[in-house]
Amino acid sequence: MRIISTLLVGSLMVSSGCVAHSIKEQKVRSAMDELWVEKNLDNIEAYYTAEAAEEVEQFMRESLAVWPDPKVEINTIAIDAETLVVEWTVTGKHRDLGKEVTLRGVNIATIDGFKVSSERRYFDNLAVMDQLGYRIIPPGMKVEGEDSAPKILLGEEDEEDSEKEVPDAPVPEEPDAEDGVDEGADPADKAAEEAPAPAP
């Protein structure tokens, strides 16, 4: 009997753990749909604690302003008592450039009960820029031919600009004491003395 009761308690604990895991996973999928697809950011505190909600809402509003209609796919969800890992793929069209971009990334979150209390996001911005048509040009690299692609210059200035000679600013001459210039003299008087005499 003792063995049977131990097995029963163990199976109930495993069962309750599986149920909690299933509820958390379903909540993650609901959050992705409601926040990213339906853009219902007014309900963000249903998924995030108050402390985390403010930062996440700001990030989402900035993202949705550039990528207004993202398609979100969840690739992997891993959950334990305090940590949530979500691998995702997002496809969306840039609002201004009109180019479609596919981005993969990972969110690692700390969970408190059934809400996210903190979240870190990892994704490749370079892959986004590449798909948008940008080229990365390191300092000193020669680019041959005309290229209409927008460029990201690494460094403080373009190499061509750095090779241009900048003329020195003129330095005003200091008056020589031997010229007999009276430092207290009125400039108007000096100008009158230097003016040519009127023609007769």
The domain segmentation of the chain, as residue ranges, is: 2-131, 134-164
At 136 the pLDDT is 82
What's the CA gap between 82 and 135, in Å, rounded? Answer: 41
Using H for helix, E for strand and C for coil, what is the string for 141-191?
A: CCCCCCCCCCEEECCCCCHHHHHCCCCCCCCCCCCCHHHCCCCCCCHHHHH
Backbone angles phi and psi of 111, in degrees to 5: -115, 140
Instruction: Retrieve residue 131's tokens.
Output: 């798909």
Beta-ladder partners of 93: 100
The pLDDT of residue 174 is 60
Question: Are residues 71 and 100 in contact, defined by beta-carbon separation less than 8 angstroms?
Answer: no
Residue 66 and residue 92 in contact, taking contact as beta carbons nearer than 8 Å: no
CATH fold of 2-131 reads Nuclear Transport Factor 2; Chain: A, (3.10.450)
pLDDT at 12: 38
Query: What is the pLDDT, as a whole number, of residue 152?
Result: 59
pLDDT of residue 71: 95
pLDDT of residue 188: 52
3-class secondary-structure state, position 87: strand
Give the separation between CA 105 and CA 127, rounded to whole angstroms. 11
Burial (CB < 10 A; 0-12, 13-18, 19+), residue 134, is: middle
Beta bridge partners of residue 100, listed in sequence order: 93
| CA atoms within a 13 Å half-sphere pointing along the CA-CB vector of 53 | 14
Joined tokens for residue 50: 């108050």
Residues facing 151 on adjacent strands: 135
CB 70 within 8 A of CB 95: no
- Residue-wise pLDDT for 117-133, tens only, equals 999 999 999 999 999 99
Give the Cα separation of 6 and 40 in Å (integer).
46
Residue type for position 128:
V
The CB-side HSE value for 137 (13 A sphere, CA atoms) comes to 19
CB 53 within 8 Å of CB 42: no
Average pLDDT across each block of 10 residues of the chain; the chain has 200 residues. List them in order.
46 48 86 92 94 94 94 94 94 95 97 93 94 87 65 52 49 56 54 46
